[in-house]
Amino acid sequence: MSGRIRREKDCVARMIEIYCRDMHGGAGRSRPTGKEGGLCPECRRLLDYANARIDRCVFGAKKSTCAKCAIHCYNKEMRARIKEVMRHSGPKMTYRHPWLSLMHFLDGFKKTPDSRV
């Protein structure tokens, strides 16, 4: 797995953790072990779904951010849920995870690959 894909998965996980902690009372990441375990079942399913979509992305490490992608691979329900998570968590990422926020911002400047893969 490339560093770009690993970073994107980490960014999505951190956003879902923030959302779950704020909205569902989830504990988020267990700091000493680094294992995911504090997510509610709903948020856990969303994270698993997002990771599966990232793994199956036809553009791989060459991709821009999902919001700029020509191919939207999330189903309607999951797309609505991840948008809700990002709207809530996005502003908080700047001070909770500044490096991930900066890298995600810079990834947004990458040219979106041609959808004819």
Which pLDDT value is given to residue 114?
59
Q: State pTM to two decimals.
A: 0.79
What does pLDDT average to over the chain?
81
Q: What is the pLDDT of residue 1?
A: 67
> In which band, very low, low, confident or very high, does the pLDDT at 112 lie, cut at 50, 70 and 90?
low
pLDDT at 73: 84
3-state helix, strand, coil in the chain (%, to 5): 65, 0, 35
Q: Rounded mean pLDDT of 73-85?
A: 92
pLDDT in tens, 20-63: 999 988 655 544 334 445 899 999 999 999 999 999 888 777 77
Q: Measuring CA to CA, which residue among 72, 76, 74, 94 is closest to residue 14? A: 94
More confident: 2 or 12:
12
Tell me the average pLDDT across 54-80. 81
Sequence-distant (6+) residues with CB within 8 A of 66 are 72, 74
- At residue 30, the pLDDT reads 44
Q: Which region holds residue 60: left if phi is over 0, alpha if psi is between -120 and 50, else beta?
A: left
Listed by start position, the domains of the chain span 3-106
Task: Report residue 38: phi and psi, to 5°.
Answer: -95, 10
State CA 77 to chain mean position distance. Answer: 16
Report the distance separating Cα 51 and Cα 54, nearest Å: 5
Question: Distance (Å, rounded) from C-alpha 30 to C-alpha 7?
Answer: 19
